[in-house]
Structures are given as structure tokens and as C-alpha cells.
Structure 1
Amino acid sequence: MEHSEAQRKITAILHSRKEQLAKVEKEIEQWKKLDRQISALEEAIETLKTHPETSESLKRNFSGFHIEQIDSNIAETLKNLNQIKARFSRNTLNIGVSGRARVGKSTLLQAISGLGDEQIPTGSGLPVTAVRSRIFHSEQQHRATLILHTYASFRQDVLQPYHTELGLPQAPQRLEDFSQYAYPPSERELPESKRQESSAITILRRLREMQLALPSYEQDLTGGEKTVSLDELRQYVAYPTATQIEAGENDRRYLAVRDVRIECQFPYAQVEQLGIIDLPGLGELAANAEEYHLSGLQNEVDLVLMVKRPVEGMAYWGKEDGAAADLLDKARGFIKNRRDFVSLVLNTGGATESLITALRGDVLRNVNDGEPNRHYQVYETNALKQEAVYEQVLHPVLRHLAERLPVMDAEILEGTRSRYRATQEQIQQFLDDVENALRTGRTHAPTASAAEDLYKRTGEMHKNIASELHNFLLELKKQARAKEEDNRYVEAVECAYQSAKSWIDAGFGKGKEAWCQDALKIMKADKGSGGFGIHESNRIRVEISHKFAEIDGYFQQSTDGLWARILDILRPHLGRLLAEQEGKAALEQLEKLLHEAPEPCTVLASATRDLLDLRLDYRTQLHPRVRQSLDALEWEYDDPENPQVQKVRYACRPDEEGAGQLFLEMTALARQAIYSAKKALIGEALAPALVIHATVEQFDDAFIRSGESLTHFHRLARSYRDDIWPGIFAGLEAANTRIANVQSAAKAIRETLSQ
């Protein structure tokens, strides 16, 4: 494949990734949403499970529920999707270069990038490169951008792994604390389990060196980015040389650098959107080295070149190489074929032919099972020669990527989605278990919804009030139709009669002598009895009428008794709604509450008002009867034989004898009138009972059986639910809310899964 064709395909691959990126980002958001919803469900279940009012059956059903594995699987899914996002977000195709120290990895990087020792240090003996470098082909830029640690990230990514490896306490929280931290002077003072590890000596020494070198890099622990020229890059990316160490120099600025991005023009492989990633740390004896190496492999590269060099003692596939291959297999993830993701580069520069032959044969036998390129594509080149590296390694690798990257991308996507489909099924099963736990738990301890319970309670209230009103009406009907005198009414009439009689017998409230004296004076002044007779007869009629009006006490008691009885029927069914009122005031308060309810209950309010409007009193009910009896006291009256003639009730002389006779005559007439009134009133003994029965019957019809009565009962219940049934619905709704929260959380998860 020609260079231009590879460039075209690589550009198409990167464009295709960008097109798929939006979908991957949407999947990430959905899984994040699902993660939050799973946490919400877990919290809702825990609240339900631990609440003291939750039924024992529900507690038992949820006692064995564990969600930790689902949480772990979701976290793994998000990790995989974010790696795909990082892969598809890149604007470059990245080739990682990995290998142990002294195999020519840095030399190979120099050959590809055209950089020198000041940018990609090489050396012999000790490892040289300390920082992961990302090198990108650019015809416009020629610079390095350092991504710097803060102390917090330095503590987490660098210090803490060393502390963990040595069994030491948590790394110091502050830079000042780190500078003064008392590290063990030797491995003998480490925890017992660590003293026996030979690597502990080296790791402890490096940790102490970091502390001693702090002055050289603490000024760079600022976070952010720092741009430097390529000529001054080495001090930020390389370990001290042996010469520097022997000279006592301790400059370790690389410790402040998390990463470095280098932009320069590649001499041969001038493919746009090409990046070469230096992956240091493989095989190094340093805390967290392999994890650091693995994170770079998973997040940064599309293919890895694993460099081997046939030098004395390393011209074979050894244990360390196998461990490195295992690490690369782990980084490969869902890519099915090793040879798609990893290629071996045998760096033959400066090696003898015998060692080259030995390494070549060992790789063929022990790595590729005797079949060339079976598991790993193997390239041979002299890393010291730029053109050879391009022709023998980079150009064929680019051709391979142009062909196989779409396949690898598809495998990664499918592998990730296959894994998370299994997690989806696990979640679906968990939701089924949750719903089954709720269903069977509530079978043993049913809990109606608050709305259902309110509806049921309202119906019961309506029926109970109706039943009690019906029983009361039967009592009233029996009284009204029994044709038996109401003893209380008869007593009230008799009491009024005796009051009137006592007043008459007491000389019409004056005494006989005083009355007669007044009569005589007026008759003498008027020269006749007519004026006094008219005036006094009128006064007597009015006073007798007032005496019989005392029956109103009975009527008031009857009315109050009726209202109290109605209240006794209603109050037990209305909770604390009328707790502070009595009698008429309570019914007036009920009418007001019915009118002012959030859902006005006008039918019930109108029925209550009609009941309160009952008028049962002497003047309304009985006064006409008494007035008829009092006509006998009128001084002048029509002649029965000649209606055109007015006759005088009694005439007498204006002297003492006449006054005495007038007193006797008027006393007799008054006694006759009150007796007649008493008989008339006793004849009306059934009227109050009939009125009360009719009033309650009308109230019962309007309050209980009118077309909208039950509807307005439900309005009443909804409006004053917590006053009528205090405490009932707070607990019920709380219990139902706990169950509803679980159901709602489960429903939300199902909806998200369906998307």
C-alpha cells in the first residue's frame, strides 16, 4: 500500500471514529444515569428495609439483596466506554513504543521522530526516560508542552504507591509535611512483611531520593501546562545520569511532570495525525510501574511496538518478556488477535549475527509456535538508521493499521457492549427480584394506597352517618305519630298557665287593694269605667301572652337538643374537625368549613344551614292559639246578634263598690282566658314533634341521599383528611412512599435500560 493510500485510510478511520463518538458519549451518559438510578434504588431499598414500620415479610424479602456486583459491573462498563471515548476522541493515530531498558527503545523513537538525546535521552546501564512522552508529527510546531503535577496529584500518583508498596502510613497530605517526613533509614525498620522483599531496599531508596530532591522540583508542582523549547526538555523527562549521581547532583524535575507532549516534524513518516507514544516503566523496579504502563497502553495507543534487542543475556524470550506480553494482553482488552494490537521489533543495531539468529529463532519457536507471525508480527530493523526504521517498521505498521483499525474498533465496541448487555440482563433480573419482593411482601402485609384508603374510609363514614341518622329519624317518627302528649311540653304549658294564674291571683301583679285604688282614681277622673277597662284589658292580655311565652324555654331546649343530637351523630366521624365547639356553634363552624373547604362541599353546607334555620318558638308556633283565647278579655266586642253594634264587656259605677266588682269580673275573665289558652296549647302537643321530625327528615335527605351527597363527602374527606383521621394518612403515606420510592426507582431504571 502506498503512503498516500495509507494516509487516506487513516484519515477515514479517524473521521469514522468521530462519527461514532457521539453515540459512545450518549451511552456513557446513559450508564452514568443508570449508575445514579441504581444508587437511588439501593438507598430506597435500604430505607424501606430498615424502617421500624416496614412489615417483617418485606424486611425478610429484602434481607438478602446485594447490589455490589452490579455497582462493580457498571463501574467497569463506564471504564471501558470512557476508554473508547478517549480512543475515538483522539485526532491522531497513536503507536506506542514499549520495552525494557537497554533494548534501544529511545533510539527507535529518535529514528521515527528525528529528535535527539536532548529530547529523547538514550544511554547505557541505568534507565534513562522517566516521563511518558507523546510525540506528534507537525509541520508547524516545534515545541514541548509539559503537563505538571500539583502536590495533590503528585501525592496520589507518585508518593502513595510507594507508601503502599512499603507498608507505610498514608502519604503526607501537605508538601511541607512531606519535606519533613521521617522515612525509615533502612528496610530493617519497615513492617515485618516488607523486610523480606528484596525490592523494598530499592523502593525505599527511591522514596528517600524523591524527598531529598524536593527543592529541585517543588517550584514546578503547580499544575497546568508549561511550554519549553525542545533544547531544554531533557531535564524534565530524564533520570539523572550515573555521572550526575556520582557528582552528588540531585536534580529530579521529572517528578513534577505528569506527561509531556512533543510536536516536531518527522523525517520520513510524515503522515498527518500520527503520534508516537513513549511508554517508560516496563520492567522497572518502581512502585506502580506496571499500572502506570498499563494505563498508557489502554488510553493512548492503537498499536504497541514491543522492542527486543539481541544482546548478551537478552537474546531470548525470557520471563520478563512473557510478563510484558501478559501486560499487553491485558491492555488489548476486547481486540481478538494479539498480532493486531502488538508487534515485535527486533532491534539489530550493533548486534552480532549469531545473537540476532538466536533471538529470531527463539521468538519463532517460543512466541509464534514455529509459524512466522502467527501470534505477533515480527519486524527487524537497525534502530540507528532512520530510513531503515521507516521502511522496515513504520511503513508496514501504518499499512497494517489502515487495514485492521476498523476491525479493532468494532471488536472493542462489540466486546464492551456484549459485556454491558450481560450487566443489563443482571440489572433486569435484579429489578424482577425487587418487584417480586414487594409483591409477596405486600401479600402478607397489604398496604392500600392513601387514595384507596381515603376512598374506602369516606364511604364508611357516609354509611355510618346515614345509619345513625336513620335510627334517629325512627325515634322522631315514633314520637311524632304516637298521638301521645309530650310530657315536657305539657309541663311547659302547665308551668306557663300557673305563672299566669299566679299573676292574676296576685291582683294582676299589683295586689287587689292597689289595683282597686288605681281603678277608682281613673274611673273618677274619667267619670266612667270605659277608659280604665280598655287600658287594663289590653295590659292583662299582653302580660298573659308574655307568661305563655315562657314556653320558649321548652322550645329552645328542644332545638338545642336536636342540634346536640345531630352533632353527636356527626362528631365521632369528623375526628378533630369540630373538637373545640359545642351545639349550634359547632354546626355553624361545620357549615363554614364546608363552604371554605379547598374543594367546597356546598350540598352538605346547604343542608347544615337549613337545619340551623329551624325556628321552633312560642310566637311562631303557638301565639295565634293563645291570642284566640285572649279575645274574651277585649273590653269592647261585636254584638253576636248585630255585628254593627259594639258592646262593652262590663260597665260599673266609678266608686269603691264598682271598682271591686270590676276587679272580680276581670279576674274571672282572665282566669277563663288562660284556662282556654292552656286547653288550646295542650291540643297542639304533637306540633313540635312533627316540626322536628320534618326538619331532620329534610336534613337527612339533603345531607345523605341527595344526588351529589356522596361526591361532596369525598370532597370533605380530601379537604380535611388529616383532621378527620389524624395521624392515619401521615403514617400510611410514609409507608406507601417508602414502597413507592422503590417502585419509582425500579421503573426509572427500566426506562433507562429500554433506551
Structure 2
Amino acid sequence: MSNRAETLAKIIEQRQPLVQSIADVEEHLRNLTNLLRSLDQRRHILKDKLDQPEVCDRLSQIDFSPLRLQISTQLEQLHQLRDRFSRPTLNIGVVGLMGQGKSTFLQSISGLTDDEIPALRGGACTAVRSTIYHQPGEPYAEVTVHSEQTFLQEVIQPYYQELELADPPKTIDEFAGTLPEFSGTDATKKSMYEHLKEDYHKHLPMYRHLLLSGAPRKLPPIPKERIHEYVAQRRFPQGELITFDHLAVREVKIFCPFKNSDVGKIALVDVPGLGDTRLGDEKLILETIGQEVDLVIFIRRPDRLRYGWEKRDTDLYNTAAEALNNLENRSFMILNHVTGTDDNMEACQKHQTSIHDKHIDVIRCKIADCSNSEETNAILDLVLNYLANNITYLDEQHARVYQKKLKELQILLNAELEKARLVWSGGLIVDDINEQGKFLRLFNKLWANLTRGLEELLDQLDIAKERDEQDIFKQQVESIIQTCKSDTGIPTEEPLNEIIARRFEEGDWQTTYAKYLHEIRNHLTRHFHAMDMGLKEYVKQAKSQVTEVLINQGNLGELTPARGSEFLKAMAEIIPDNLVRLKHAFQTLSNFEMSYKANFHYRIRPHLDNLNPDKTNLRLSASNAMDSREIKAQEIFTYLETLQEEALFKCQHALEDFYGEPGQAAFAEVEEFVDQVLRAKDVKNEWQIFLFQEKAQVWSKEFGDNQEGDDRQQWLSLVDQSIAANSLKQLQFLN
């Protein structure tokens, strides 16, 4: 791989941490949206409920709906940004008006022909957006066709709206019916109507089989010789279409080896040329450039007789600039030099010297013969070298535009949230000093009781761990061992006859012996899986002990009717997301589990090796003509009994060494929980915030009848959570 190819590959790899950072910000924005929705819902409830005109008036002045819409827009844009940086290639968009040589340029680089990238004289040739990837091997294409729904929404509906043809069809059958007449006189719109009528409507039966309900779908890989069926619009001289499948195509990806194999991980994005009267081209350019390309190559073929930049050139540039910020540092202009009798070199030179006069600002404006492979690949080298040297900086500049929008939105949200905080007379967090003092006295007493209760529970579990008092698990193991002894999986009724019959099924004694070993080993391990019951019961018991302390010493029983291990799960759901340490502690303990498969299976397996025909040390003796069937069957039966007993004996003794492990694991998990809820930094503050929000339930006698205070506190709690979620740190994906 060349240095440049390595550089491009490294750039793609370096984008991945940014991709994850953007995804994290998206998650924070979704959480913020949910909080704002809750605030709006609470606002409506309070306005109808409260008998406080001043508070209701302030509530009426708050509305988070427009800001939630802005967040939704930002989420869509961040998703597009993440998709851009997630791509496995750097994409170069090739854009030009109809008939300027764009397809010829792509042919020269890729080695493809008119069959795959049509570049024919006359009208527009390329029918759909194509992306061409450098990949060794025989060329092929991945074709995505429209569903019925996307075909109607993205292709047909724009015609109905632009031409004002009444309501757009909602089903394919409706579109297949009589097409509304167009009564306008505008020549351009008349031509649009002809496209709709003569191409899409008239020939619907020819491509309708590709349009299915549901989502757009990929067709099986298309070989090189059939690619043209999906990308080219071929017509008779009179303009009538010859091929029709392209009418149903949404997107095409072509994979082929480029002539210059040293290009690295790049893709060329080909957008249908503007200039005909088919609708959707400008929207397609905006979407493609805005979402899928890192750099643009404009293709322009000056007319040798009537040259000069035209309005359509500046319109095209402005369209691209609207989609891709910093276009002046992300675009090249190629002036297509036609040789022979139509030589336009003078026109190309005139355009080259006057390009900046028209404010078409690009990195470089170069003259090249788009049909000449050597010249076009030299242009590609120039573009790739520029990408290798500048794309990291350009990526950062591009991302900063989105970061700036988020910061502006964050400022707007802060202003609205500050209004929400001041709804109750400046937004005091507690009713008054007396209420605050009462809460702190009750909290300190609860904290002392909870701390003592959890510490004493740890001492109990530690003592039980040291004494190996694991009765539940021990009894479970002993019961399983007895079951394994009574249910061995070895033939019991007329075992020799059964073994002899099995030998005729299998064909020989060795295979019969091997099959029995596999079956007995699996039979034994199935019994051990019953160990899960004891392990689960032990974990459940440990969680229930923690729950008892939280309810009895922590006074948390009124927060949920759940008890036992389910109490921890319910608490993890009740605790707000912004109380990160506290919520995580309950989630972790609630999710703690032990199982035979995870904790003991790997320790038992080595003791079963002698029941593996490839590893056993008891091999069948060589058969000879003097051996009777009964002798061989007896040998197998004896070996099976011996090996099963030996394996069970080893497993039993191994498990005896592990009797204390469930207690040790449970103690470690509970100790970690106690560390997180009592000793972690700032966790006491989180307990205060949480218990103040729930004080009416935790201390119902002291706070239960203060409905006004509860309404205010619930509102302020939501506001505080929203402010925390709206912090700039949470919404920052760039340093």
C-alpha cells in the first residue's frame, strides 16, 4: 500500500472516536427531549390545578415545544454527520450539468464503459445516483430499488405538487389509473408533465414488478453486462424509452478496479446531470453532497463557439454550497477539453482565467480531456493528495458548524429553563428555612440508620462466607450428585443386549463405544445445570437481605410495593437518570446473577475428559475372531460404569472446594453496592436530592400533606434534571 493510501486509511480510522462522541451527544439530546416533554406535560397539569394566578401566569409564558423541534432537527443533522464519519471510504462527488462529460470522466478513471456509466450523445444518459467503489475483481453492482411507498413519495409526488395535479396518488393502483390532465401553459412544466406521463405513467407495467410494499430493497448482485439496465435511460431517436428498470431504481453501487490501483479507500459519487426537466435532481444533489461526499469535482465543458460562464453554472455552484459548508476548500473544477475538429482549448482557457470573477471559488481549476485516462487520473492524483493533506482539518471545520449550532441551542434552552426555575417566587428549592431544617434532621437520622444497617449486613455476610455456611448451595450440589449416581445414562435393562443392538446400528464396536461416551458425558453435565436453582436462590436471598435493610433502616418501603430482589430493580427505575452514581449502584446489584454455566461449568469440564473418546485412557482392546459379542459388550459396559463413576467422583470433590464461592461472590457484590451508595464521592448529595424529591412518601407524617410544596418540588426537580442534561459538557463532541 502506498503512503497516500495508508494516510487515507488512517484518516478513516481516526474518525471512529468522533463517531462515538457524536452518538453519545445524540443519546443526551434524546434524554433532554424526554425531560422537556415531561416539563411541558407537568406545566399543563399545574396550570389547570393550581389556584395561584401569578404562578399560572409564569407557567403560561413557558413553552418548550419549539425548542424540542429544534432538538429534533439537531438530532437529524447529527445522525447525518455520524453517518458521514462512519463511512469506510472517503467520497468524491462528481457533479455537472447534463452533457458536460461527467460520465466520460468517471469512465476514464474506473475503466468502465457506456454499458455501466452511459456517456452517449444526445439527452441525459445517467438515470440514477451511482457510487463507484475501487475494488479488485470483476465489476458488479448493488442495486437498491424503490418500495411502492418511497416511489410515490420521492418520485411521483413532487410532479403532482409542482404541476398542481390535484392530490398525489396514495397507492400504485391509484397512480396506474387515469393521469390527471395538465392545463398550464408554461413550457418547462409542460415538459415535466411529458416526463411523468410518457416515462413513469405509460410504462408503469414494465417496471412495476420491482416496486414492492415495505422498505426499499437490494436486488441480488448485478453482473457487469447488466448494470446498464439499472443506470441508463436509453431512448429511440424520437425520444421514446427503450429500457425501463431504471425508473424503479433508488440507488446503485458499482464495484470495480480503478485504472490507478493506488487510490486507496475512496469512492466516486455520480449524480445525474442537471439540465433536463425531470424533477428531484436539485434535491438529489443537495442530499448527496450534504450527506455523502467529502469533496466535489465539478465538470464543465466550454462551448468552443459560444463560451462564457452562465447563470446555470453559478446556480449549480450555489446549490452545492448550500449543501456542503466550506465548499471553496472542498471543490475542484475540471474544464473538459474536447480535441479534434471541435477543439475547445481556447474556450477552456477563457473559463479558467475568469472563474473567480463569477465567484465560483474552488481549490484549483484545471483543464483536462475527460476521455483521456492519463489526464483524468492525474487530476484524481491531485485531488487525493489534497484530501490526504487536508481532510482532517476539513472534517474538524465541518463538525464545528454542528457543534456551534448545539451551543446556540443550549443557550436558548438555558434561558427558557431559567424562566421555569423562577416560576415559584424566584425558584427557592425548599419552602422555607424550617422545612429545610426539618428535612436535614430527618435525612441525617435516616443516613445514620442506613449506614449502620448496611455495615452490619456486610459483617454478617463476611462471617457466613468465612464459615462456609452455604447451606442452600451445598444441599443443591449433594442432591445433584445423588441424582447423577442413580441416573447415569448407562444402559440398565439388559445392558449387554442393548449394547450389542447399538453395535449393529453404528457398524463397529469403536464407534458404539465413542457414541456412548459422548452421550454419558452430556447426560452428566445436564444434571449439573440444575445447580442454577441453588445459585439463583442464594443470589435472591442476598438481594433480599439488602432490601430488608433499605426498607427497615432506610425507610424506603413506601416508594414501591416491590419486595425482595424485585425491590432493587424497582428502585433502579425510580431513581432519576441525573443521579448517576446512585442509579448505577442499584442497577448493578439488581443485575447481579450467578449460574452454573458462567461460574462453574469451565471448572468441571476438565474432570470429564475421560468421557471424551478422543482423550479417554480406557481404550477398547483390539477385536479378534475369538471374541464373542457378549465379551465386547461386557467390556464396553464395564468401561462406561468405571469412567462415569470416576468422573462423578472428581466433579464432586471439585465442587466441594467451591462451596464457599457463592457466598464470596455475593459478599463482594454487596460490599461493592455498599461502597457505591455510602462511600463514593458525592453520593451522599445524590441521596439528599433523591430523598428530598420523595420526602412525602419517605416521611409521610412530616411531609405527606404538603401538596403545594410537592407540586413545586416535582417541578423544580424536573427543571434541575433538564438543566443538568443541557450542560455544555453533555452536548460537546469536539474538544
Which among 187, 196, 199 is matched to residue 198 of structure 1?
A: 187
- 2:413 is aligned to 427
- The answer to whether 1:53 aligns with 2:62 is no
Q: CA deviation at 1:116?
A: 0.5
The match for 1:183 among 159, 179, 184 is 179
1:138/1:272 contact within 8 Å kept: no
- How far residue 143 of structure 1 moved from its aligned partner, in angstroms, is 0.9
Candidates 144, 152, 155, aligned match of 2:152: 155
| Correspondence list, 1:656-735, <5 A | 732=708, 735=711
- Give the 3-state SS of the residue equivalent to 2:422 in structure 1: helix
Counterpart amino acid of residue 312 in structure 2: E
**What SS does the aligned partner of 1:123 have?**
coil
Instruction: Please tell me the residue identity of whatever aligns with 1:7.
Output: A
Query: What is the rounded CA distance, in whole Å, between the counterparts of 1:415 and 1:107 in structure 2?
Result: 35
Counterpart of 1:43, as a letter, is: Q
1:213 to 181, 191, 203: 203
Measured at CA, do residues 312 and 91 of structure 1 come closer, stay the same or move farther in structure 2, by a change above 3 Å? same
Q: 1:381 aligns with which of 368, 388, 391?
A: 368
Residues of 1 paired with 2:368 and 2:104: CA distance?
12
1:145 maps onto 2:131 in alignment: no
Which one has the largest radius of gyration?
A: 1
**Cα distance 1:322–1:721, how it changes in 2: closer, same or farther (>3 A)?**
same
Task: Verify the 8 A CA contact 1:111 1:385 in the aligned structure 2.
Answer: yes
3-state SS of paired residue (2:68): helix
Q: Give the 3 Å change call, closer, same or farther, for CA 740–308 of structure 1 in structure 2.
A: same
**Aligned residue type for 1:144:** A
Q: What SS does the corresponding residue of 2:121 show, helix, strand or coil?
A: coil
- 1:734 CA drift (Å): 7.9
Residue 413 of structure 1: aligned partner? 399
Aligned CA distance change for structure 1 residues 737 and 442 (closer, same or farther; 3 Å): closer
User: Given the alignment, which residue of 237, 241, 246 partners 2:235?
Assistant: 241
Residue aligning to 2:268: 276
Cα distance in 1, alignment partners of residues 235 and 410 from structure 2: 53
2:594 matched to which residue of 1?
A: none
Q: CA deviation at 1:717?
A: 13
Deviations 1:580-628 (A, max 9, x none): xxxxxxxxxxxxxxxxxx99xxxxxxxxxxxxxxxxxxxxxxxxxxxxx
Q: CA deviation at 1:750?
A: 4.0
Q: Which amino acid aligns with 2:192?
A: I
Higher mean C-alpha displacement, 227-236 vs 24-33 = 24-33
Q: Are residues 329 and 717 of structure 1, via their aligned partners in 2, closer, same or farther at CA, if it must alter by over 3 Å?
A: closer
Deviations 1:244-265 (A, max 9, x none): 744xx56421122110111111
Q: Which amino acid in 2 is paired with 1:184?
A: P
Q: Distance in 1 between matches of 2:713 and 2:189?
A: 57
What residue identity is the alignment partner of 2:345?
Answer: I
Query: Aligned partners of 1:175 and 1:450: how far apart in 2?
Result: 71
* Aligned length, in residue pairs: 473
Match of 1:105 in 2: 102
Give the corresponding residue for 1:368.
356
Overall identity of the aligned pairs, in %: 24
Q: Could you tell me which amino acid in structure 2 is paired with residue 220 of structure 1?
A: L
Q: Distance in 1 between matches of 2:36 and 2:717?
A: 12
What letter corresponds to residue 95 of structure 2 in structure 1? S
Q: Deviations over 1:437-460 (max 9, x none)?
A: 3435999xx9899999999xxxxx
Distance between the aligned counterparts of 2:151 and 2:160, measured in 1?
13
Matches within 5 A, 1:72-471: 72-180=69-177, 182-185=178-181, 187-188=182-183, 195=184, 197-208=186-197, 209-222=199-212, 223-226=216-219, 227-243=221-237, 245-246=239-240, 249=241, 251-312=243-304, 315-333=307-325, 335=326, 338=328, 340-350=329-339, 355-365=344-354, 367-369=355-357, 375-391=362-378, 393-440=379-426
Mean CA deviation greater in 136-145 or 60-69: 60-69
Change (3 A) 1:735 1:436: closer
In structure 1, runs of 5+ residues without a counterpart are: 189-194, 456-597, 600-713
Contact 2:25 2:730 in 1 (8 A): no
* d(CA) in 1 for partners of 2:39, 2:258: 54
CA contact (8 A) 2:96 2:274 kept: yes
- Distance, in Å, in 1 between the alignment partners of 2:432 and 2:204 is 68
Question: CA contact under 8 A between 1:269 and 1:395: conserved in structure 2?
Answer: no
Whole-angstrom distance in 1 between the partners of 2:295 and 2:306: 24
CA contact (8 A) 1:45 1:742 kept: no
Between stretches 232-241 and 59-68, larger displacement belongs to: 59-68
Name the aligned partner's letter for residue 210 of structure 2: D
Is the CA contact (8 Å cut-off) linking 2:132 and 2:253 kept in structure 1?
yes
Q: Per the alignment, do residues 108 and 750 of structure 1 end up closer, same or farther by CA in structure 2, a change over 3 Å counting?
A: closer
Aligned to 1:243, what secondary structure does the other structure show? Answer: coil
Distance in 2, matches of 1:64 and 1:29, equals 28
Cα distance, 1:88–1:141 mapped onto 2, change above 3 Å: farther
In structure 2, what is the equivalent of residue 746 of structure 1? 722
The residue type paired with residue 349 of structure 1 is V
How far apart are the structure 1 equivalents of 2:361 and 2:699? Answer: 78
Aligned pair in 2 of structure 1 residues 733, 264: CA closer, same or farther (>3 Å)?
same
Give the counterpart letter for 2:180 in structure 1.
P
Task: Compute the TM-score of the two structures, normalised by the length of structure 1.
Answer: 0.57
In structure 2, relative to structure 1, the CA distance for the partners of 1:442 and 1:177 (3 Å cut) is farther
Distance 2:698 2:207 in 1: 75
Alignment partner for residue 28 of structure 1, among 13, 26, 32? 26
Extract unaligned runs of 5+ from structure 2.
440-556, 559-694
Structure 1 Cα separation of the partners of residues 138 and 39 of structure 2: 52
- Provide TM-score, normalisation by structure 2: 0.58
**Aligned counterparts of 1:83 and 1:739: Cα–Cα separation in 2:** 35
**In the aligned structure 2, how far is the partner of 1:416 from the partner of 1:153?**
29
The counterpart of 1:11, out of the listed 6, 9, 12, is: 9
